[in-house]
Amino acid sequence: MNNFEYASPTSVEQAVALLSSTWGESEILAGGTDLLGRMKDYVSTPKRLINIKKLPGLHAISKENGGLRIGALVTLDRIPESSDIRKNYAALAECVAEAASPQIRNMATIGGNLCQRPRCWYFRNGMGLMPKNSEGKSLVAEGDNRYHAILGNDGPAYFVTPSTIAPMLLALNARVRLIGPGGPREIALENFFRVPHSEDEREHNLQANEILTDILVPAAGSGMRAANYEVRQKAAFDWPLVTAAAVLHMSGNTVQNARVVMGAVAPVPWLSSEAAEAVTGKAIDEETAAAAGRAAVSKARALSENGYKIQIAAVAVKRALLAASGQPVPNVFAQGGAA
Amino acid sequence: MPEQNQYSWPPSADRSYIGSRMGRVDGLAKASGHAKYTYDYNPKGLLYGAFVRCPHAHARITSIDTSAAESMRGVKAVEIVQKPGSEIHWAGDEVVAIAAIDEPTVRDAVRAVKVEYQELPHLVLDAKEPPRDIPPDTSPLGVDDLEGMFSNQVPSNQIIKEIKERGISFKPEEVPLDRIPPEIANAIKSAQQKPSEKKKVPSWYKPAAAETQGDPAGAFQGADTVVSEGVYGLPVIVHCCLESHGAVSEWTDSEHLLVHASTQFVSGIPGQMAEGLGIPAANIRAVQQNIGGGFGSKFAPDRWGIYSAKLSKKAGGAPVKMMLSRAEELEVAGCRPSAYARVRVAAKKDGTLTAWDSFGWGTGGPGGGGSPPIPYLIRDRVPNYRTQWTAVVNNIGPARAWRAPNHPQACLITMAALDDLAHKLGMDPLKFFEKNAELTGSRASIYRDEFPIADQLMGWSKRWHPRGDSTKGPIKRGLGMSMHTWGGRGHQSECDLTIQPDGSVTIKMGTQDLGTGTRTAIMAIAADTLGLTPPQITLLYGDTAYPMSGGSGGSTTIGGVSSTTRRAAVDARDALFGKVAPALGATPEQLEAAKGQIRVKGNASKGLSWKDACAKMGAVPINAHGKNLGGRDPLMNSGVGGVQMADVSVDTETGIVRVNKMVAVQDCGLVVSLETAESQCYGALIMGISYALYEEKVMDSTTGRMLNPNMEFYRLAGIGDLGELVVHMMVNKYDSRGVIGLGEPPVVSPGAAISNAVANAIGVRVPFLPLTPPRVLAALEESRKGTAA
Amino acid sequence: MSTKEKEPANLSRRDFLKISGIAASVPLVVSPTATEAQGQQAGIVGPGAVPITLTVNGKSFSADLEPRVTLLDALREHFDITGPKRVCDRGECGACTVLIDDRPVYSCTTLAIEAQERQIITAEHLGGAQPHAVQSAYVNNDAQQCGLCTPGFTVATKAFLDKHAHGADAEIAHGLAGNLCRCGTYRGIHGVIAQMSGREPKGNAGTTTIAERLATSAEGGA
């Protein structure tokens, strides 16, 4: 880890002023669970770290406009512990409880979870986010891309979005508040993420001297049903191969409106209008859910090693829809006994 | 039955601690964080060492500029490890070593060194089947070839075979004959000397001559013959010791070195470091109280050990800590060689195995590596066989022994092929293995004892179904089994056991406890022999100041230290009997040591407390030197048998595999420390689940670098990734064989048992480990295509 | 759906700058004197060593440390508290787990400078002057081999049991997922949880005969 200046401002304005307007020169330290690892690997080499944990007003979960306001500095462990979230956004509570490990959840913030950088192993090994070989070809496309994108992978970005929570928040139609030298602004979460086209760009719309301050989740509504499904190799604490979040607004057994978002399939959380259309106006059963799963990957394109992700993304969408509508889904980890 | 003598193991009625679950004697020190490891040693004035490493998989160093690093504040010593002109064979190899006042400074200094390289072509992948038309290399062996075989731990018999067949291009005295195994030294001395041949164009592939027996071609013919074919394999994995490799070296004066090493071979460190440092081995003291994992990768001092000492010398003798980072540990501290094979195997319709034919390949890094003993367990006894092996010489990194070297590879390839054959025969694999058990030779009776126990504990006979779980839904469940063996005869080991006149007892032994329970076993034996409790005995160990012990590899420690401890304790006890007998009005032969007394056998009223008995010694302590008898020692033995079964579920839509239950039935002769023995087996099952489902050194073909040198994508099983684990030690059954090593054998079978269970669940073989979603889904897809066509 | 962004109407850029009272950012690379003056105003320290005081196991420890020093390295290298181990150094394995204000965290992924004014407890002091009951249970269940992961695991286990007094298997799978072991001691750790929550351990702990084992097996067999 390179050395750096360290500041611990006590107001948002101070914090913003301390940030450089150029990416890479300064970094925001919140939970640190992503940033410090990147710095140890010299993937990030900021000259200054701004610890924002002492900023006031960003640590609370509160009600706002009938919905939810989650301060960016709320640590992940507190989200499933919130009775309001457990009651009205149970799928969000479950999704957050599945993230990482207890120690990480005690440290990591929800804002940091949305701003974390990709886990692409080329990126993390210091080869760059869009690494190229000497002939200018993508190292990822030519190399081991088993965990890389199947959607939004026209290049040069092939990495996948790392957050396991963003797809659920995006499916819930969440918005985020950002603050920078120009003052605060508020954008839909789906516009917060974007596919970068050069190493200089980030995978979100944050400016280098902006801070994400709040996550706003709209009111749940009585007909809302939601579920998240992760496909991962290990029972816990494992980056999922694919995730799918489904939020349905039901009228009786009929889907009035659906939002289906996949994670770890594209450089951004992937909102699938195809999956949503496939179930809108229908009841969810094995057949409609499976059709929606197929629709979700209808535009997917495999790289050399990740064709299997197309299959499991379709399954994840199917199972998220089934779970959202209250139907049982297979769980391979529930088989057999424990030691 | 072994000959009865005074050292024989006490009958089970006379054992209080031997064979018991007495509790790990160093347990609380470890659990409470007080146990000290090499990495925890923080002497005053400590400097931190680190290496500049080559980023290329194959390159020649063209220039090195250390000036910027040398002028940095806090940098105390810089040493060039490999000079310009040196050829580098794997990414991460050491180029320059630096010591500085703290770790951040040394890491900054490493980044300030400028090294230029000429990149050379590399190969880091190994799963592709090599061409079969490359002739075996028959050119005489050079010193380099020999060194390569040693550093890749090629089995001795294979080295000897190559020396005999190819001859040598050097004079025997050019190699240090006194420091290599005598049988190899003899082979070199008697080898034919030939002029060295001009090297052919280097090839990535090094085929060995085929080995055949019987009529391997004809045996696959015939109306009564059922043939099964398949490809099986497992990739390079790494050890991932939680305490990384490394050492702390300090010069106590200009001629004497003290080294704290993280090592599986404390006694062997001085001899391996002396030459490089230019001092006698006698001037080097190596110590280690605890080691955080080795698994076969920590026998040598390695460059980190040697350069911690060189940097310390340069820095005026200040202690230098040189421990690898996690990424370094995974990139350079050792590879378990991969193994793949295309196999044809045949049996008569009644299930009698008749023929084996395999073409195998795998990599042990730049040396190519040794070949696994295929077909496993039945080699030399299957009537007709042909085995071919091609070493893939590549740049994936250096091979090191990995818990049971070559056995998990040979086991997976063999047991999977046989399981596929059983399926083709329409036989329950358990019945198939029972039917062919005689082909395992002398261990057949052990397997026959173990099969019904494993059957009962798994409920195999009640639950087994033919391939393909017909239950509705995407989750399929299946059973699989495997069997294994290992040698494990005790190594050379010596100790001093001293009884003081005040009754205190001290054992000094240069051995090490890898977490296998060595300390606990030594204590159990000494306590039972002296009639004491473990807290009454002090065990000093892990220090070259104490009598030597062999390296803890090959499951040789438990046999070695057990016999040695028993012998020393018996001799010391008998000497004490001599001193005490007159006071008890008995002859020494009439006495026993039991329950804290020296007493007339079976007569508690006619005895003295331990303390009072020792007081009869006068002022002179009793010292007994223990030394086992090696290959002719009846207290220890070689050769174990184990049977394992796995119960898995597979999500056929996602390819995720879950192990629901595993059963391990394991023999290791006389069980000295039951609880830690069981822990070895549980641990082996968990490690086995890990390599069966997750572990793989993933390499990038373009850059030649490891892509997962971390613990998030080099996955290890977590606490939620195991189902029920049942371990049954064959207690008391084989006591008469003496003590046999255990650490390695139970890790041999899990990969095969789990792979077979997955095949049983989903109806199709997943050829390669680890059994990841892409591989499982690809196998299912292949089978669907096959069915459609 | 709409992708039009809204900016809160009541707060313009000029207003914001007025509120903040800072019209320009604090530059990153300027002359030392300027940095110092502005830095002090914004509370900037480093990159050189700064005095740091940590409260560990009820005692106060002070040293001059660069801001980049992690809590783990401060504990191990500067205060010789070596119960927390450095294994992955990336928040992946849990060997460095300590309690900060009673919550388990990875000390390798926490800066020492951030951990000031907090109560830090390591494995050595988990039970105060005596070993914690969880640590004794680790010995009783032989839930350790090489022991490198064990101190961190005992801290995580204690914190887990504080939240889940009767840890069920599924809760263990998630609640202790943050710690990895290479020797494979997880079965013993299941035994620790069972013992601490008053349940009988499953499997063959304490049994030797096949019949006993079958009687305690959850799967198959009898």
| CB contacts, 8 Å: C135 with chain B | 28, 31-32
* Residue A337 to residue B661, Cβ atoms within 8 A: yes
Average pLDDT, chain A: 96
Instruction: Give yes or no for residue B5 having a pLDDT over 90.
Output: no
Structure tokens at B450: 């173990």
User: Diameter of chain B by CA atoms?
Assistant: 91
Q: What is the mean pLDDT of residues A196-222?
A: 94
Interface subset of C 45-84, CB within 8 angstroms of B: 66, 68-69, 73, 76-77, 80, 82-84
Token readout for C23 is: 């019209």
Span B158-167, pLDDT tens digits: 788 889 988 9
B409 has pLDDT over 60: yes
**Which amino acid, B297?**
S
Instruction: List the domain boundaries for chain B.
Output: 38-122+246-323, 143-237+335-392, 407-488+637-788, 491-632
- Per the CB < 8 A criterion, the answer to whether B49 and B88 are in contact is no
Is any Cβ of chain A less than 8 angstroms from the Cβ of B657? yes
pLDDT at A324 over 80: yes
How many other CB atoms sit within 10 Å of the CB of residue A53?
15
**Which residue among C12, C46, C217 sits closest to A5, beta carbon to beta carbon?**
C46
| Residue A135 to chain C, least CA–CA distance (Å) | 33
Q: Which of C56, C81, C88 to mutate to probe the B interface, most B CBs <10 Å?
A: C88
The average confidence (pLDDT) of chain C is 83
What pLDDT digit, counting tens, does each position of C204-216 carry?
A: 556 667 777 777 6
Nearest to B408 by CA among B242, B236, B293, B263: B236
Low-confidence winner among B615-619, C38-42, C52-56 (lowest mean pLDDT): C38-42
What pLDDT, in 10s, does the model give residues B197-210?
A: 766 556 889 888 78
C87-108 tens-digit pLDDT: 999 999 999 999 999 999 999 9
pLDDT confidence of residue B2: 40
Three-class secondary structure of residue B647 per DSSP: strand
* Cβ <8 Å between C173 and A183: no
- Residue contact C69–B104, C-beta within 8 A: yes
Does residue C3 have a pLDDT over 70? no
- Tell me which residue of B258, C91, B334, B718 sits closest to A32, measured CA to CA: C91
Give the ranges where A116-157 is alpha helix by DSSP (H).
121-124, 139-142
Q: What is the DSSP letter of B92?
A: T
Kindly indicate the confidence band of residue B1, based on its pLDDT and cuts at 50, 70 and 90: very low
Residue C5 has what pLDDT?
43
Looking at residue C201, what is its pLDDT? 60
Of the candidates B295, B514, B710, which has its C-beta nearest C90's C-beta?
B710
Ranked by mean pLDDT, the top range of A218-227, B683-692, B780-789 is B683-692
Q: How far does the CA of residue C44 sit from the closest CA of chain B (Å)?
A: 20
- CB contact A83 to B (< 8 Å): no
Interface touch A37/C174, C-beta < 8 Å: no
> At residue B262, does pLDDT exceed 80?
yes
Q: Is the dihedral of CA C203, C209, C215, C219 positive or negative?
A: positive
Matching residue, tokens 């159990």: B524
Contact A216, A64 (CB under 8 A): yes
Of C77, C136, C220, the CB nearest to B463: C220
Structure tokens at B710: 């971390």
CA C33/CA C16 separation, integer angstroms: 28
d(CA A28, CA A31): 10
Q: Nearest residue of A to residue C171 by CA position?
A: A236
Residues of B in contact with C73 (CB under 8 A): 103
Residue C168: pLDDT over 50: yes
**What pLDDT does residue C18 have?**
42
Amino acid symbol at B229: E
pLDDT, tens only, B656-696: 999 999 999 999 999 999 999 999 999 999 999 999 999 99
Q: Which CATH architecture group holds B38-122+246-323?
A: Alpha-Beta Complex (3.90)
Nearest CA in chain B to C138: B31
- Shortest Cα–Cα distance, A191 to chain C (Å): 7
Say which residue the tokens 């146990």 belong to. B35
Mark which residues 254-273 of A lie under 8 Å from B by CB. Answer: none
Contacts with B, C 87-146, CB within 8 Å: 87-90, 92-93, 95, 122-124, 126, 131-132, 135-136, 138-140, 142-146
* Per CATH, domain C133-216 is 3.20.20.220: no
pLDDT band at C40 (very low <50, low <70, confident <90, very high): low
Q: Could you count the other beta carbons within 10 Å of the beta carbon of residue A132?
A: 17
Verify whether the Cβ–Cβ distance C190 to A338 is below 8 Å: yes
pLDDT at C210: 74
Q: Which CATH number fits domain B491-632: 2.30.40.10, 3.30.365.10, 3.40.50.2300, 3.40.30.10?
A: 3.30.365.10
Share of chain B above pLDDT 90, in %: 86
| Chain C environment of B295 (Cβ under 8 Å) | 182
Residue A51, token pair as written in the block: 């610890």
Say if residue B8's pLDDT is above 50. Answer: yes
A 282-311 residues with CB < 8 A to B? 305-308, 311
All domains of chain A in start order, with CATH = 61-115+162-217 (3.30.465.10), 224-328 (3.30.390.50)
Average the pLDDT over A136-158 and give the result: 96
- For an interface test with A, the pick among B103, B656, B678 (most A C-beta atoms closer than 10 Å) comes out as B656
Q: How confident is the model at residue B463 (pLDDT cuts 50, 70, 90)?
A: very high
Give the pLDDT of residue B774.
98
Chain B residues near residue C182 by CB distance under 8 angstroms: 240-242, 293, 295, 687, 716
pLDDT of residue C23 exceeding 60, the answer is no
Q: Does the pLDDT at position C1 exceed 70?
A: no
Which tokens belong to B649? 């579920």
What whole-number distance in Å separates Cα of residue B650 and Cα of residue B645? Answer: 16
Chain B interface test: which of C136, C146, C193 (most B C-beta within 10 Å) = C146
Type of residue numbered B34: H
Nearest CB neighbour to C89, from listed A40, A186, A236: A40
Q: Report the candidate in A251, A241, A243, A310 with the shortest Cα–Cα distance to residue A279.
A: A251
Of chain B residues 290-319, which have a CB less than 8 A from chain C? 290-293, 295
Residue B152 has pLDDT above 60, yes or no: no
Please report the pLDDT score of residue B202 as a whole number: 66
Size of interface B-C (CB pairs under 8 A): 222
- The highest-level CATH class for domain B407-488+637-788 is alpha beta
- What pLDDT score was predicted for residue B11? 93
Mean pLDDT of all residues in chain B? 94
> Which partners does chain B have (≥3 C-beta pairs < 8 Å)?
A, C
- Average the pLDDT over A117-137 and give the result: 96
A333–C3 CB contact, under 8 Å: no
Please, which pLDDT band fits residue B732 given cuts at 50, 70 and 90?
confident
What phi and psi, each to the nearest 5 degrees, are found at residue B603?
-125, 90
> Residue C71 has which token pair?
């809590």
**Domain boundary assignment for chain C:** 50-125, 133-216
Is C92 in Cβ contact with B292 (below 8 Å)?
no
- Do B515 and C146 count as a contact with CB atoms less than 8 A apart? yes
The Cα of C37 is separated from the nearest Cα of chain B by a number of Å equal to 27
pLDDT tens by residue, A247-275: 999 999 999 999 999 999 999 999 999 99
* A142–B702 CB contact, under 8 Å: yes
Cross-chain residue pair C89–A21, CB shorter than 8 Å = no
Q: What is the ipTM of this complex?
A: 0.97
| Of residues B32, B39, B722, nearest to C123 (C-beta) | B32
DSSP for B476-530 reads: EEEEEEEEEEE------BEEEEEE-TTS-EEEEE-----SSSHHHHHHHHHHHHH
Measured distance CA(B181)–CA(B190) in Å, rounded: 15
CA distance A140 to C138: 45
User: pLDDT by residue (tens digit) across A290-314?
Assistant: 999 999 999 999 999 999 999 999 9
The C-alpha atoms of residue A176 and residue A72 are separated, in whole angstroms, by 9
Nearest CA in chain A to C17: A181
Helix (H, G, I), strand (E, B) or coil at A308: helix
Name the minimum distance, in Å, from the CA of C202 to any CA of chain A: 7
What pLDDT does C205 receive?
57
The CATH class, in words, for B143-237+335-392 is alpha beta
B437: nearest Cα among B382, B393, B359, B363: B382
Domain made up of C50-125: CATH architecture? Roll (3.10)
Cα A232 → chain centroid: 15
Does B662 contact A at CB distance below 8 Å?
no
Chain A hits for C113, CB-CB cut-off 8 Å, are 6
Taking CA atoms, B361 is separated from B205, B212, C147, in Å, by: 9, 17, 36
* Three-state DSSP state, B672: coil
Q: Do domains B38-122+246-323 and B407-488+637-788 have the same CATH topology?
A: no
